[in-house]
Amino acid sequence: MQPLQLFDPASSSYTYVLVDPHSQAAVIIDPVDTQLARDLAQLQGLTLAWTLETHAHADHITSAGLLAEHAGAQTAVPAGCGILGAARQLQHGDLLRFGGETLQALHTPGHTAGSMCFVWRDHVFTGDTLLIQGCGRTDFQSGSAQALYRSLTQILFALPDATTVWPGHDYQGRSHSSIGAEKAHNPRIAHKTLEEFTATMDALNLPRPQRMDQAVPANLQSGLPQNATPAVGYAGDVSPQLACQWWQAGEAVLIDVRTDAEREWVGFVPGAVPLAWKQWPGMALNADFDAGLQAALAGGHKAVMLCRSGVRSVAAAKRATELGLQAYNILEGFEGNPDADAHRGRTGGWRLHGLPWRQS
Ligand SMILES: N[C@@H](CCC(=O)N[C@@H](CS)C(=O)NCC(=O)O)C(=O)O
Ligand SMILES: [Fe+2]
């Protein structure tokens, strides 16, 4: 049984549709936002069970979130990619079922730290871990040539030689290969030592993908626009990862609106401005909070508001907006919100995503 292979010429990306012939259940791997109409047409008559990402792409934006909305699919992503709000975070070895078919996730770090490949029957969808006669670059998104060497030689080349390789990209019009062919002839990895491989990868010197700054943050939210749920009275909702990126890039000030006691009990974010939100309906406005906020944002930066689970941070962002400041709410707060729904993120939070924090 063959997968359906679809191509996006703008990014030279491949998208795959796998179908269970008995139930017509399907999965789609690495869908591209600009191809949504084409993909929905391809999916006519099928039940899209899952959208899958091999990694958080740097060169194009996924349509996974849109496919969840339009086709009723659930989103599944590699656990190590920091993609917020997916219905399923996949770990190495996890099985994903669609109809009577099963696909297995393999964690293959290297191109990015979280990258995965998916095995279905005698096919492997390699994302950018293994390309035809090539492999993904390792110079951004926590990439590692050492990790990629191990993923290629120990995990992918351990698959049967006859396994068909379906890559995430091809820049020269080739469609597929096999494990046996890549093991024997891939110029980057075949018969190479770890030292030879890392020397090759270190010398690549590729230009940054043109859309990287736009694509990565969008893909950390499954491609859904930041304000998919219109924010009322403040600038918007952001994932913990995007907030952290803005903060670390010096574009935003991180305001921690939890109380001192909470921070001491649960954990601090070093460098965040502590400004407890203690105003509830019926209470007087807190002049200290307003003054603290104005002082923290005097440089004209935007604020990203952090609380425990994303409730007080909304109130604080609204107050900041009333004061004429630009403020965003960090979804799910520091500890995550177990009650959040699947689209906005079931669990999560700053701490769970491995963003900087320390115990008091
Ligand atoms: N030129 C492309 C980027 C191409 C690129 O860097 N592709 C990544 C995959 S996201 C890669 O790993 N390429 C490996 C290679 O070209 O050897 C763009 O601007 O979007
Ligand atoms: Fe990539």
In terms of phi and psi (left: phi > 0; alpha: psi -120 to 50; beta: otherwise), the region of 154 is: alpha
Could you tell me if the CB of 237 is within 6 A of ligand 1?
no
Beta strands in the chain (DSSP E): 4-8, 13-19, 25-29, 47-52, 74-78, 88-90, 95-98, 101-107, 116-120, 123-127, 130-131, 134-135, 164-167, 177-178, 236-238, 252-256, 273-274, 302-306, 327-330
In the predicted model, residues of the chain with pLDDT beneath 50 are: 227, 340-346
User: How many separate domains does the chain show?
Assistant: 2
| Residue 218 in domain | no
Instruction: Tell me, in angstroms, the distance from the centre of ligand 1 to residue 209's CA.
Output: 6
Could you tell me if the CB of 30 is within 6 A of ligand 1?
no
Pocket of ligand 1, candidates 34, 60, 142, 169: which has the most ligand atoms within 8 Å of its Cβ, to mutate? 169
Could you tell me if the CB of 209 is within 6 A of ligand 1?
yes
Could you tell me if the CB of 210 is within 6 A of ligand 1?
yes
pLDDT number for residue 283: 64
Domain boundaries, position 277? 226-330
Cα separation, 299 vs 308, in Å, equals 26
Instruction: Tell me, in angstroms, the distance from the centre of ligand 2 to residue 56's CA.
Output: 7
Q: Which residue has the tokens 């590699």?
A: 78
pLDDT number for residue 341: 46
| Residue 216 in domain | no
Is there a contact between 82 and 241 (Cβ–Cβ < 8 Å)?
yes
Instruction: Tell me, in angstroms, the distance from the centre of ligand 2 to residue 128's CA.
Output: 5
Q: Which CATH number fits the domain that encloses residue 246?
A: 3.40.250.10
Is there a contact between 214 and 225 (Cβ–Cβ < 8 Å)?
no
Domain identity same for 150 and 18: yes
pLDDT number for residue 346: 42
Domain identity same for 159 and 269: no
**Stated pTM of the model:** 0.69
* Ligand 1 atom closest to residue 211's alpha carbon, by position in its atom list: 20
Domain identity same for 196 and 124: yes
Task: Please tell me the residue having the least CA distance from ligand 1 atom 1.
Answer: 209
Domain identity same for 195 and 144: yes
Could you tell me if the CB of 170 is within 6 A of ligand 1?
no
| Residue 48 in domain | yes
| Residue 245 in domain | yes
Instruction: Tell me, in angstroms, the distance from the centre of ligand 1 to residue 137's CA.
Output: 7
Among 329, 259, 318, 323, which Cα is nearest to 290's?
323
Pairing of strands 236-238, 177-178: unpaired
Instruction: Tell me, in angstroms, the distance from the centre of ligand 2 to residue 330's CA.
Output: 26
pLDDT number for residue 242: 85
